[in-house]
Amino acid sequence: MTEGIDTIAPPVLAVSDLTVRFPASRDWLGRATSHVHAVNGVSLQVRGGGSLGIVGESGCGKSTLAQAIIGLAPYEKGSVAIDGQDFQASQGRQKRDLRQKMQIVFQDPQSSLDRRLPVWRLISEPLHIRGGHSNAELHAKAAELAAAVGLRPEHLDRLPHEFSGGQRQRIAIARAMSTDPDLMVLDEPTSALDVSVQAQIVNLLLKLQRERGLTYLLISHDVALVRHFCDDVAVMYLGQIVESGPADAVLGNPRHPYTRTLLASAPSFETPLPTLAEVRIGELPNNRKLPTGCFYRERCGKAANGCEAPQDLRRLGDGVRHARCHLAQG
Ligand SMILES: Nc1ncnc2c1ncn2[C@@H]1O[C@H](COP(=O)(O)OP(=O)(O)OP(=O)(O)O)[C@@H](O)[C@H]1O
Ligand code: SF4
Ligand SMILES: [Mg+2]
């Protein structure tokens, strides 16, 4: 669920006005003289047991948003609340507990798994770090999770290099589940895998969600996957959400000019193609100096009077989605 969409269940994740920038250059005293503006005021919510997809072209800030949410990238403004508790404001044990309620699965399981540890240790590592468990308990938990992700008992004592990419991603998913998280952040979890294996991992994630009531934040280039996988979607452009709402509505009948162009460029995706007048070729603008007015103005073929003003994410007439464009109709 994204900004302003009413929910019945309380959100597992609530992000408000999140802003992340990185130093791009420094003076001789080491002070930042310019910044990369990676995430620019993102608000979103994901209800328990639901799934929100984040789509947008390379460099728009998807991974930075994910990392800020789980506490791996510091943010300078905004807030992240998990189960209603503010992550940044928490301290000590409470912060550690909140941290364990969120886990992330990366695109490349190879680099996220310590190659020297056997599978049972990799899977139970987050519990090992938390402390208070004997080796026998860690092994038993790893065996239960390995079975849940489709690994066999004899796999538990092997090293990660003995597995295929798909199996390594199963190990990474089991590891992420070891602390019984409320929220799983999935950053391009299938894009490094062969096409035939991608569907298996997607089906596994959907099965785990049904069985365990997991809540997902899925980051993906693949709009067809997001439409299949997610209840809701948020489309990102230059660190902002430009359109959000139910995945079927937004991806089936996009209203923001950027969403329309993004979908038209997605391979084999059925969507109303934008007219040529709506599309202007160009690169993602430099995020060291944010544009004034609508961030999409330089590339938008529909730009007109009024677009030089900053655009809010406003609810459209269909009542279910939001778009950051004064010309978008619901
Ligand atoms: N640690 C960092 N230091 C400086 N700039 C960074 C850092 N991490 C990301 N960026 C920049 O922030 C912007 C957003 O990057 P991010 O990786 O979040 O994009 P993305 O949407 O995940 O892209 P992709 O689809 O290629 O994974 C980019 O301009 C990137 O170069
Ligand atoms: S506000 Fe103007 S420039 Fe921005 S997306 Fe809408 S029509 Fe295009
Ligand atoms: Mg990324």
| Distance of alpha carbon 19 from alpha carbon 238, whole angstroms | 12
Question: What is the DSSP secondary-structure string of 99-115?
Answer: HHTEEEE-S-HHHHS-T
173 Rama class: left (phi>0) / alpha (psi -120 to 50) / beta: alpha
| Distance of alpha carbon 301 from alpha carbon 41, whole angstroms | 25
| Distance of alpha carbon 295 from alpha carbon 272, whole angstroms | 23
Give kind and range of the element (H or E) at residue 139. Answer: helix 135-148
Q: Model pTM greater than 0.85?
A: yes
User: Edge-to-edge strands of the sheet including 77-82?
Assistant: 32-47, 11-26, 77-82, 85-86
Q: Which of 36, 242, 262 to mutate to test the pocket of ligand 1 (most atoms within 8 A of CB)?
A: 36
- C-beta 287 within 6 A of ligand 1: yes
Cβ-contact 76, 37 below 8 angstroms: no
Largest Cα separation within the chain, whole Å, is: 68
Cβ-contact 329, 319 below 8 angstroms: no
pLDDT at 284: 77
pLDDT digits (tens, 9 = 90+) for 80-123: 999 999 998 999 989 888 999 999 999 987 787 899 999 999 99
Q: Which of 238, 294, 295, 314 to mutate to test the pocket of ligand 2 (most atoms within 8 A of CB)?
A: 294
- C-beta 21 within 6 A of ligand 1: no
- C-beta 326 within 6 A of ligand 2: yes
Res. 259 pLDDT band, cuts 50 70 90: very high
Q: Which CATH superfamily is domain 11-101+181-323 in?
A: P-loop containing nucleotide triphosphate hydrolases (3.40.50.300)
pLDDT at 112: 79
- Number of Cβ within 10 Å of residue 44's Cβ equals 23
- Number of Cβ within 10 Å of residue 245's Cβ equals 27
DSSP 126: H
Res. 5 pLDDT band, cuts 50 70 90: very low
- C-beta 280 within 6 A of ligand 2: no
| Distance of alpha carbon 22 from alpha carbon 76, whole angstroms | 10
Dihedral sign from CA coordinates of 277, 282, 284, 286: negative
Comparing CA positions, the residue from 250, 327, 248 lying closest to residue 294 is 327
pLDDT digits (tens, 9 = 90+) for 6-53: 445 569 999 999 999 999 999 999 999 999 999 999 999 999 999 999
As a whole number, mean pLDDT of residues 183-190 equals: 96
| Distance of alpha carbon 216 from alpha carbon 12, whole angstroms | 10
- Structure tokens, 204: 């596994």
